[in-house]
Amino acid sequence: MLKLKKEKKQEFKIIGLIDKPLWKSIPCICHATVITMQYPLTDCMHCKFQECEDSIPKQKFKSNGKDVNEIKIVRGQRYQDVIGWTWHEEDDQ
Ligand SMILES: [Zn+2]
């Protein structure tokens, strides 16, 4: 029987999450039903920033063959919008 190496279960950790970032107070200017008046065809900042926030990874991923279990959110100074995220690549034990 093949014995699997017991993997340390590690929760995916996101550093820098904010409950109410400033950009959330920017109103959405998109039209409810007219698609040509909705993001991304409009310059709606609210939806743009929402899209950035939604793109944050929710579970661990691999980078250069190594597991990434923790990321740190990088935010814009003005609107606290998500610009990206950073991580450290650690060697598998
Ligand atoms: Zn919008």
- The pLDDT tens digits for 23-60 are 999 999 999 999 999 999 999 999 999 999 999 999 99
Can you tell me the distance from the alpha carbon of 3 to that of 55, in angstroms, rounded to the nearest whole number?
Answer: 36
CA–centroid distance, residue 42 to ligand 1 (Å): 8
pLDDT confidence bin for 90, thresholds 50/70/90:
low
CA–centroid distance, residue 75 to ligand 1 (Å): 20
Domain presence at residue 4:
no
How many domains is the chain built from?
1
Domain presence at residue 14:
no
Alpha-carbon dihedral sign for residues 70, 83, 20, 55: negative
Domain presence at residue 13:
no
**57 preceded by cis ω (within 30°)?**
no
Structure-token match 């699997």, residue found: 4
Domain presence at residue 5:
no
Question: In one letter, which amino acid is 23?
Answer: W
pLDDT confidence bin for 5, thresholds 50/70/90:
low
pLDDT score of 1 more than 80:
no
Q: How far is CA 14 from the centre of its chain?
A: 9
CA–centroid distance, residue 40 to ligand 1 (Å): 8
Mean pLDDT of all residues belonging to the chain: 91
CA–centroid distance, residue 92 to ligand 1 (Å): 42
CA–centroid distance, residue 9 to ligand 1 (Å): 38
3-state DSSP assignment of residue 50: helix
- 38: containing domain: 19-58+66-87
Domain presence at residue 23:
yes
